[in-house]
Amino acid sequence: MILVTGGAGFIGSNFVLDWLAVGDEPIVNLDLLTYAGNLDNLASLEDDARHLFVRGDIGDGDLLARLFATHQPRAVVNLAAESHVDRSIHGPAEFIQTNIVGTFRLLEATRAYWGGLAGARREAFRFLHVSTDEVYGSLAPGAPAFAESHRYEPNSPYSASKAASDHLVRAYHHTYGLPVLTTNCSNNYGPYHFPEKLIPLVIHNALAGRTLPIYGDGMQVRDWLYVKDHCSAIRRVLEAGRLGETYNVGGWNEQPNLEVVGTICRILDQLRPRADGLAYFSQVAFVQDRPGHDRRYAIDATRIERELGWRPAETFASGIQKTVQWYLDHPEWVENVTSGAYREWIGRHYAAGAPA
């Protein structure tokens, strides 16, 4: 059994679904179900005995101790995080609490559990921490992509909080010998993505006839990674990664935001044309850039390919086509997460407290 934190979020739920699709090892899934955590993502596992969902906080040391004692996981995959730059600018406190303090509490609970293991179980145990390319800062045009040796230069409260969590994970390996692995991924996209991030927001707004807002000139460049490729990379690092190492996970797909929006609009023009015959790109509106907006991210994923044989299966063209089609096929999911009905259900369902 493995313990996955943040397993009801975008990347987390995709990871849980993919893990159970390719194997039978059970998962204990710990998620606080903040606004972006969504049990609807895991509806197909409702009656699956391999999946145990627990609503709770990675900062709750007593809950973590109970979970470790009861379920005896062989690994922890830490996906729990506050992850939206805009939200971190307007309210950084939650990012500090979850990404730094929460990671610390999780590391402490893991260290106590691992310290009590012996023999082969102790040797086989792993703690895999999932992080972001944003810890490296911003790249100039033409500069080499981020390698694992690139220095940390976070520029937002979000990226600074993730950088701090990375440093804690590294320190627990160096100081205590905790068997850790770290992955730093580029921008993910795909199914079950909460519509606050660029790609799901554009799809949602386009279909609703709303403005498609683009920060600044729209030429901020990101490396785009299809979420299911990210999930396969996490599985591979957990399986064979070298202890204490960091592996950058990227899609080899650098795209400026304006081109990403244009691609989505062209796909929608083909799959769901507007009734008035106009192109969806006519809904684009340029808005004031956000403070400290990093200009370019790019991941050099050479190490994970060289050492572990992993490469993404999807190009941006194939991945974005699948993503747009998924949102067209699942309007009820989008309606549920944007209407407030899901949040109301969570409040009622968990009114008596979190199960353990």
From the candidates 113, 136, 158, 297, give the one annotated as an active-site residue. Answer: 158
Average pLDDT over residues 307-311: 98
Question: Based on C-alpha coordinates, what's the Rg of the chain?
Answer: 20
Percent of the chain whose pLDDT exceeds 90: 87
User: Each residue of 97-113: pLDDT tens digit?
Assistant: 999 999 999 999 999 99
From the candidates 31, 60, 133, 254, give the one annotated as an active-site residue. Answer: 133
Structure letter (DSSP) for residue 255: E
User: Each residue of 123-135: pLDDT tens digit?
Assistant: 999 999 999 999 9
Farthest-apart Cα atoms in the chain, separation:
68
Q: Is residue 268 part of a domain?
A: yes
Q: Is residue 354 part of a domain?
A: no
CATH code for position 160: 3.40.50.720
Q: Is residue 311 part of a domain?
A: yes
158 catalytically annotated: yes
Helix (H, G, I), strand (E, B) or coil at 280: helix
Q: Minimal CA–CA distance to 114: which of 27, 19, 178?
A: 178
Helices 103-115 and 157-176, packing angle to 10 deg: 20
CA separation for the pair 286, 204 (Å, rounded): 17
From the candidates 31, 60, 82, 134, give the one annotated as an active-site residue. Answer: 134
Q: Is residue 276 part of a domain?
A: yes
Q: Is residue 356 part of a domain?
A: no
Q: Which domain holds residue 37?
A: 2-349
Structure letter (DSSP) for residue 250: -
Q: Is residue 337 part of a domain?
A: yes
Q: Minimal CA–CA distance to 254: which of 143, 333, 150?
A: 143
- Our count of domains for the chain comes to 1
Q: Is residue 164 part of a domain?
A: yes
CA separation for the pair 129, 237 (Å, rounded): 11
pLDDT(213) > 70:
yes
User: Each residue of 138-168: pLDDT tens digit?
Assistant: 999 999 999 999 999 999 999 999 999 999 9
134 catalytically annotated: yes
Three-class DSSP labels, 261-278: HHHHHHHHHHHCCCCCCC
